[in-house]
Amino acid sequence: MNRSYTSSSYATRHTNAPIRIAGAFLLAGMLALSTMPDLAWATATNSSSRDTSTSTQVTSTTSSSPTQAQRSDSFTQTTSAQQTDEIDAALSDSSTAADATQTSSAQAADTAKAAENSWRYRDGVRLYTDGTTEKSLDTTETQSKSASSQSRPSNRPAGTQLSKWSLTSEGAVSPTGEVIEGATAIGIDVSHHQGTINWEKVKAAGIDFVILRCGQSTNINDRQWKRNVGECERLGIPYGVYLYSTATTVDEARDEAQRTLRDLAGHSPSYPVYFDLEESDLASTDNRQLLADMAQAYCDIIEDAGYTPGVYANVNWWNNYLTDSVFDQWDRWIAHYRNYQSSYKKAYHLWQCSDVERVDGIIGNVDLDFEFGGTPYPSKYTWIEDSHGWWLKRADGSYPASAWEKVNGTWYYFDSEGYLASGWQKLNGSWYYLNPDHDGTFGAMQTGWQKIDGIWYHFASWGGANVGWQQVDGTWYHFDLSGGMETGWLQLDGSWHYFAWWGGMRTDWQEIDNTWYYFDSEGILLSGWQKIDGSWYYLNPNHDGTFGAMQTGWQKIDGIWYYFVNWGGMVTGSYTIDAIEYLFDSSGAWQS
């Protein structure tokens, strides 16, 4: 079992260190992409290089393999010295222009409700500040692959260049020597918009962390989520998670939190789980309280499940819509595409500073993120294994004993000495089954259907094995005192019932061992005279081994002869049997 989680800490939040800029920087952006003017693109000159930064060109024609002493953080960056004033206006604290743009996007959303519509999406298509879209990037990249070139082809505007970042004790250093002070890690965030990613190349490029999108709304899955999270875990890439929210009510936000937990089942992100707020329909100062209430509902559920919650939005949203003090309790991830310190005044931990970077392993643009204040987020728990087994160390140094503990959405039980229990456990009169297999979920409390040693059990949502009568998904089952599912004939409270091989209680007509029986709506086997669907039947009332069996042919009942056809119905009137005509009265009695 792999329980030895990394105990690296994601340090305490603090305000952002100033960013020193030497010459024209390479990050550009704006809030209202749909109204972006044609802009001139300038070239970032390689004005200065610091001796303190060690990095390796990864995506150039001649690339060297990274070593422990070398960081190969390879990105292609966009530069526009002319855009500074326009960016300031677009992302200023005033929300007038942004409100107009968000309203326009909301109108577009009326025709594409299932698609993202925000400051960076139009009807589900990702827009980039270099004037491209994900579709145009896909087309150009495909065409570029067929051309033979000495260097990697680029479809980006003239003046952009392939470049690399590195980290020093001072912060993140650009390829031209500018320092983003206080930055302690360089990462990216991805979704299905990046297509199928070669994660081995991404890791080799020196990325420190990744934020993965798990889905959108309550029912739209990110097509790459399962593959992306699986690859990050396989390769040991630290990751966080975000859900693109389309909620417009608190209840919808709660539902989005629950779907996020379903996506997170079995996973342990080392970075927070972010609530992505950007849908145009809610971009209004009138929605400040609603946005705060939705974030509270979402983040409470995420935190109660053992994860660290956070909120993502661009700086316009943070300055104008997400202003309630409730947001101060969660990790902030801000989007602000600028070439100098963000104007946002409150503390933030992640800064998405560009949307037009390149990294080996990803075709097209990708977002660049800086982390401030440390490496991966401190886990609230640390798993420790010694000669006696596994135990759990809380962040405050304490550990659970003779108690349940919920870790990353999964319940575990620890014995009186604090060691993780497994297998069958009887606690407070109920039987629980804690995964005994060392498959990465050792000790996890089991729920739902479980086949154990060839026997089926059903465990309630709180973990206890169901016993007696239980209705599961609309079907009744019966479990013995140990929780084992029962099948076949079963006498309960003086009545006979029959349960199929898969456990479900049978009702109505059932053919069992070539004999027909009838069970009422509660599954009770009927006997004697029964009128069913307008016809009279006689079901053996004698406890002779065929109790309840449907009778056919001649039957003498209470001294009177009756005749039942092969499907069980009683005959009345004139009826021919073996070429002889017989007469039966209205009660079915033979008139001899």
Whether 167 maps to a domain, the answer reads yes
Mean pLDDT of 279-283: 86
Give pLDDT tens digits for 284-296: 889 999 999 999 9
Please list the residues that pair with 211 across neighbouring strands. Answer: 189, 240
Whether 406 maps to a domain, the answer reads no
Q: Where are the alpha helices (DSSP H) in 161-287?
A: 199-204, 225-235, 250-264
The listed range with the strongest mean pLDDT (44-48, 80-84, 192-196, 529-533) is 529-533
Give pLDDT tens digits for 107-154: 433 333 467 776 676 777 776 666 666 554 444 444 343 333 333 233
Find the Cα–Cα–Cα–Cα dihedral 358, 360, 361, 364, rounded to 10°: 20
Whether 389 maps to a domain, the answer reads no
The gap between the terminal CA atoms of the chain, to the nearest Å, is 81
Whether 270 maps to a domain, the answer reads yes
Tokens of 45: 């000159």
Picking from 114-123, 170-179, 404-413, which range would have the lowest pLDDT averaged per residue?
A: 114-123
CB atoms within 10 A of CB 566: 7
> 33 is in which domain, residue-wise?
19-372
Indicate if the alpha-carbon torsion angle 458, 464, 467, 471 is positive or negative: negative
> Helix %, strand %, coil % for the chain, to 5?
20, 35, 50
Confidence of residue 82 (pLDDT cuts 50, 70, 90): very low
CATH at 265: 3.20.20.80
Give pLDDT tens digits for 248-269: 999 999 999 999 999 999 899 9
Tokens of 235: 């390769």
**CA-wise closest residue to 33 among 110, 161, 134, 138:** 134
Whether 522 maps to a domain, the answer reads no
Tokens of 56: 């390796």
CA distances from 34 to 78, 101, 108, 133 (A): 18, 8, 11, 11
Whether 278 maps to a domain, the answer reads yes
Backbone phi and psi for residue 327, each to the nearest 5 degrees, phi listed first: -70, -15
Sequence length of the chain is 592
Q: Which amino acid is at 197?
A: I
Q: How many domains does the chain have?
A: 1
Whether 237 maps to a domain, the answer reads yes
Whether 456 maps to a domain, the answer reads no
Q: Which amino acid is at 428?
A: N
